[in-house]
Amino acid sequence: EDQVTQSPEALRLQEGESSSLNCSYTVSGLRGLFWYRQDPGKGPEFLFTLYSAGEEKEKERLKATLTKKESFLHITAPKPEDSATYLCAVPGGANNLFFGTGTRLTVIP
Amino acid sequence: NAGVMQNPRHLVRRRGQEARLRCSPMKGHSHVYWYRQLPEEGLKFMVYLQKENIIDESGMPKERFSAEFPKEGPSILRIQQVVRGDSAAYFCASSVQPTGTDTQYFGPGTRLTVL
């Protein structure tokens, strides 16, 4: 059965304190791993897609990496505006995304 | 280029009433997906549609829920005889190509409250 597990559930960082969020997955035949950001009361906002082990993508203070078992979202020198819930997802079956429950990040000024 | 649009953003219904949620995909997108997010839970897939066709409704409850994506107009998620357990945020997403080969872009969601 396909599984996506995100850790930690919640993370509090001081502004400027770098850290990483983890997404581990068990799927047969990975067809991509997606990272989204979700602010309270809003829809998920697309960040990255990774397709193969070793792939990395960057956007501002965020960098996503992928291995055969997990993906990391590295946050370098975060700012308060980076506070959000970060979701990872994999294609679950032919027609949908299977989401983890997310990591709720709070960056304290 | 407008993103995925959903309306209403907030919807309040009493038990037993009907709820209709609308979704207009991004321009050029012909694949539409509906997800439900219960409080403190992750996004759960409900249904996948292309124009005039339901492709996969494996995540949708068998009773009271239906979806359509007509040739003209938005996709509609319809919930009949709502119950308190239907209270949730409902998100629509769209893509150019099917999942697995393309990115899904999400709308702002409709928050349904059942009194």
Number of H helices, E strands in chain A: 0, 11
Phi first, then psi: give them for residue B110, nearest 5 degrees.
Answer: -120, 125
DSSP string, A82-101: G-EEEEEEEE-SSS-EEE--
pLDDT in tens, A34-57: 999 999 999 999 999 999 999 999
> Shortest Cα distance from A23 to chain B (angstroms)?
14
Beta-carbon-side half-sphere exposure of residue B53 (alpha carbons within 13 Å):
5
The angle subtended at Cα B104 by Cα B98 and Cα B107, nearest 5°, is 135
Q: Do B106 and A44 touch (CB under 8 A)?
A: yes
Q: Do B42 and A45 touch (CB under 8 A)?
A: no
Residues of B in contact with A49 (CB under 8 A): 103
Q: Which of A34, A97, A98, A99 is the best substitution to test chain B (most B C-beta atoms within 10 A)?
A: A97
> Shortest Cα distance from A100 to chain B (angstroms)?
6
Phi first, then psi: give them for residue B67, nearest 5 degrees.
Answer: -145, 150
Confidence of residue B110 (pLDDT cuts 50, 70, 90): very high
Q: Do B104 and A101 touch (CB under 8 A)?
A: no
pLDDT for A1: 64
Confidence of residue B82 (pLDDT cuts 50, 70, 90): very high
**Cα gap B92→B45, rounded to integer Å:** 10
Side by side, which strands form the sheet with B65-68? B5-7, B19-24, B75-79, B65-68
Confidence of residue B1 (pLDDT cuts 50, 70, 90): low
Look up residue B54 and give its two tokens: 């339901």
Residue A14 has pLDDT above 90, yes or no: yes
Cβ proximity of B17 and B78 under 8 Å = no
Cis ω for the linkage preceding A8 (within 30 of 0): yes
Lowest model confidence (mean pLDDT) among A7-16, A60-69, A72-81, B1-10: B1-10
**Cα gap A7→A17, rounded to integer Å:** 18
Cβ proximity of A47 and A102 under 8 Å = no
Residues of B in contact with A100 (CB under 8 A): 42
Number of C-beta neighbours around residue A79 at 10 A: 13
Q: Do B42 and A99 touch (CB under 8 A)?
A: yes
Cβ proximity of A66 and A23 under 8 Å = no
Q: Do B103 and A45 touch (CB under 8 A)?
A: no
pLDDT for A2: 66
CA distances in angstroms from B14 to A13, A65, B17, B18, listed in the order given: 42, 46, 6, 9
pLDDT for A26: 87
Query: A60: which residues sit within 8 A by CB, 6+ positions away?
Result: none
> Shortest Cα distance from A94 to chain B (angstroms)?
7
- Please name the residue that has the structure tokens 């009949």: B80
Residues of A in contact with B98 (CB under 8 A): 94-95
